[in-house]
């Protein structure tokens, strides 16, 4: 079974890496992919494999604000989408509400960000399975157990 794919759309490498580290600390099985421009993001979103979560910074080198938002919304799969922004723009917040997208302030503490990412991913069908932390075998799990700290190794002889 494929690992859940997370797309991080962020043009600042340090910020993108920090987001990936935060995501992988609560979803270690996640495959984080990166896009540094809208063009790159749209190419990746057009792939046929599902994205469990799309995290997007709206201010990119080739697109800004609501233009970025609407372009990404049009191509996103059934997975969750989070807008990461330091801007307190009511038009963006209203667009997020209207499109079932979460707005996350970049000033949010990392523990709160991780909790939001987990909650956003919990309803995706791929996230209702997870791999054993010891042997990597995939098995069904309850969404509340997605945090790997709560996962117990399977009881197979190899674990």
Domain ranges of the chain: 5-128
- The whole-angstrom separation of Cα 41 and Cα 67 is 13
Q: What is the chain's pLDDT, residue by residue, as a tens digit (159 residues)?
A: 468 899 999 999 999 999 999 999 988 888 999 999 999 999 999 987 888 999 999 999 999 999 999 999 988 877 889 999 888 889 999 999 999 899 998 888 988 998 888 888 876 555 544 555 554 444 444 444 344 443 344 444 443
pLDDT of the residue at 67: 96
pLDDT of the residue at 82: 94
Query: 54: which strand partners?
Result: 7, 81
Q: Which of 79, 69, 60, 74 is nearest to 103 (CA)?
A: 69
pTM: 0.77
Which helix (H) or strand (E) covers residue 19, if one does? Answer: helix 13-26
Q: Determine whether domain 5-128 maps to CATH 3.40.50.2300.
A: yes
Q: Are 121 and 4 in contact (CB under 8 A)?
A: yes
Cβ count near 24 (within 10 Å):
15
Cα–Cα–Cα angle for 14, 84, 91, rounded to 5 degrees:
145
């Amino acid at each position: 079974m494929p690992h859940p794919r997370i797309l991080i759309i962020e043009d600042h490498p340090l910020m993108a890496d920090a987001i990936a580290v935060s995501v992988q600390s609560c979803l270690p099985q996640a495959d984080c992919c990166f896009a540094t421009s809208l063009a790159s993001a749209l190419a990746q979103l057009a792939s046929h494999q599902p994205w469990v979560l799309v995290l997007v910074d709206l201010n990119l080198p080739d697109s800004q604000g609501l233009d970025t938002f609407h372009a990404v919304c049009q191509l996103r799969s059934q997975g969750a989408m989070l807008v990461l922004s330091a801007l307190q723009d009511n038009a963006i917040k209203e667009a997020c509400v209207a499109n079932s997208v979460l707005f996350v302030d970049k000033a949010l503490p990392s523990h709160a960000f991780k909790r939001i990412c987990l909650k956003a991913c919990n309803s995706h069908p791929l996230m209702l399975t997870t791999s054993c932390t010891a042997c990597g075998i995939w098995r069904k799990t309850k969404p509340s157990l997605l945090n790997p700290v709560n996962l117990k190794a399977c009881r197979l002889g190899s674990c």
